[in-house]
Amino acid sequence: MTYDAVPEYRGDGISVKNVGAVGGGDAFLIKAGSKAALLEAGFSFCAVKLLENLESELQGASLEYVLLTHSHYDHASGAYFIKRKWGDVKTAASAYAAKILTKPSALEVMREMNESAAGHFGWDKGEPMGAIDVDKQVAEGDIISLGGLTLTVMEAPGHTKCCLSFYIPEKKLLLSCETIGCIAGPGLVAPAYLVGYQMSVDYMKRLLDMDIEMLLMPHQGLIIGHEKCRALIGDALRSAELLKDLILEDHRRGRTLDEITKHYEEAFFTESLRKLQPPKAFYLNAGNLIPMVIKEFEK
């Protein structure tokens, strides 16, 4: 199936809009009544633009939360600047993400990745980010109230150890983290399981048992309609298995990490994904994902 993720949705008592400054550094403003939360905060180099977009979209609503699905630089960096502008905003993330986001060595990697991404997207590197203090550590089953909606926290490790998704039962809306992957083309969802294959598959299977009418895909936007959401989750599961089999088969044939990476790149790093992810980030991720899969299946 071909998926057209929409960047914006306006419904009864809720609106969702991508206010990210650049594709790949997406940030979704969720408004419910007079309250708002930002899901993800994007890169640091374009944070000034994100803040501008955010301010103009808030239109008087009060920004209560920045919800971070995980600690990667392309999702979390902007949170530092948001907190500096709106001191009362609560940054919410998992306990593990909270640890990473104040760790000097991790922040150094995030600054380097931001600088490299700025070059890739043709932006000035801007002011470097600082540590991000997580005000509200959340875990499985916790509820964040927002203007009459209940955002239920789901732990969804697989892309990272710290991954969280949020489900809004009133709207049957799932705000998914990247453990589901990213849409790469018709019927193809690029896997993003960096720390665990089986745990990622378990997360996707869990989604099949949920009542989902709208699915917010990381970096891409909303998929609307029960059947479309289910089909997408099915494609994500099939794509996950396809890549796992590709890696294990190549490994059995004695192919090197570089050769497997090339094969992986040809199959999954499509034109649409290249718009979201700099090649440097793809290779860095592949360098983690491939050995992880081999290790997981050799034990």
To the nearest whole angstrom, how small is the minimum distance from the Cβ of residue 146 to Zn ion? 23
To the nearest whole angstrom, how small is the minimum distance from the Cβ of residue 163 to Zn ion? 8
Kindly state the helix (H) or strand (E) to which residue 76 belongs, with its residue range: helix 73-76
**Alpha helices (H) in 161-256, listed in sequence order:** 197-208, 226-252
CA 266, chain centre distance (Å): 23
User: Among residues 17 and 72, whose Cβ is nearest to Zn ion?
Assistant: 72
Judged by CB under 5 A, the stretch of 22-30, 172-180, 182-190, 233-241 that binds Zn ion is: 172-180
User: Phi then psi for 43, rounded to 5 degrees?
Assistant: -70, 170
Residue nearest Zn ion, Cβ-based: 72
Name which of residues 174 to 213 contact Zn ion (CB under 5 A).
Answer: 178
Task: Check if the beta carbon of residue 24 is closer than 8 Å to that of residue 277.
Answer: yes
To the nearest whole angstrom, how small is the minimum distance from the Cβ of residue 210 to Zn ion? 22
Residue for token digits 């609307």? 224
Task: Check if the beta carbon of residue 248 is closer than 8 Å to that of residue 210.
Answer: no
Q: At what angle do helices 279-298 and 104-121 cross, to 10 degrees?
A: 130
To the nearest whole angstrom, how small is the minimum distance from the Cβ of residue 149 to Zn ion? 25
To the nearest whole angstrom, how small is the minimum distance from the Cβ of residue 208 to Zn ion? 23
Name which of residues 97 to 126 contact Zn ion (CB under 5 A).
Answer: none
Binding flag, residue 155, Zn ion (CB under 5 A): no
User: Among residues 149 and 277, whose Cβ is nearest to Zn ion?
Assistant: 277
Total interface residues for Zn ion by CB under 5 A: 2
Task: Check if the beta carbon of residue 66 is closer than 8 Å to that of residue 41.
Answer: yes
To the nearest whole angstrom, how small is the minimum distance from the Cβ of residue 70 to Zn ion? 6
Task: Check if the beta carbon of residue 137 is closer than 8 Å to that of residue 171.
Answer: no
Q: Given candidates 31, 72, 171, 219, which one binds Zn ion under the rule CB under 5 A?
A: 72
What is the Cα–Cα distance from 60 to 237, expressed in whole angstroms?
41
Task: Summarize as ranges the residues that interact with Zn ion (CB under 5 A).
Answer: 72, 178
